Amino acid sequence: MPAYTPQQLKKALVSAGFQVFRTLGDEIVLAERVRENLIMDSGVRLRASEPLQVKVIFRTQRGHFPGEDDDHLFARARTLADPARVNGFAEITCGASPVVDPSDPSHTLDTFFEVVLAKEAESLEVAVEGLRFALSLERSSDV
């Protein structure tokens, strides 16, 4: 399998019909169109490695479930990830990410409880299939 640079992968993904949100080091972060004039980080990424790696982030916000403890919030995110596990993705990390107030960095607005799953792809074609699958999943819990 040929090694790809992030720039080569970015071009290939755009050609395959994906919108790219940004490149973070060796990862291409896909965008999700929220409205006609607004795109956001989809939580789906492709890592330029050998083999390629498709990553997907599942999250739950504390603000949506204020009475629940951290373990329950991670469990909600893991439940969202079940369809990915069935499709060969495996959990590689989890963590809590504070959302700070942009006008007052000392104030936390909310906290995301995130579970990251990944799956290796032996070719760009397989990676594209994995990305399409990951984008089809519900990745955020609000009920």
pLDDT at 143: 65
CA distances from 134 to 64, 69, 84 (A): 23, 27, 7
Q: Backbone phi, then psi, for 18, in 5-degree steps?
A: -85, 155
- Asked if residue 2 has pLDDT above 70, the reply is no
pTM of the shown model = 0.91
pLDDT at 37: 77
What single-letter amino acid sits at 55? K
In this predicted model, what pLDDT tens digit does every residue of 57-85 receive, in sequence order? 999 999 999 999 999 999 999 999 999 99
> 67: which residues sit within 8 A by CB, 6+ positions away?
none
- Asked if residue 117 has pLDDT above 50, the reply is yes
Q: Are 5 and 28 in contact (CB under 8 A)?
A: no
Structure tokens at 50: 């050998």
CA distances from 131 to 15, 66, 93, 110, 124 (A): 14, 32, 19, 28, 10
In this predicted model, what pLDDT tens digit does every residue of 89-111 receive, in sequence order? 999 999 999 999 999 999 999 99
Q: Backbone phi, then psi, for 17, in 5-degree steps?
A: 100, 5
Interval 25-49 mean pLDDT: 90
Interval 50-60 mean pLDDT: 97
Residue 115's pLDDT band, with cuts at 50, 70 and 90, is very high
Residue 33's pLDDT band, with cuts at 50, 70 and 90, is confident
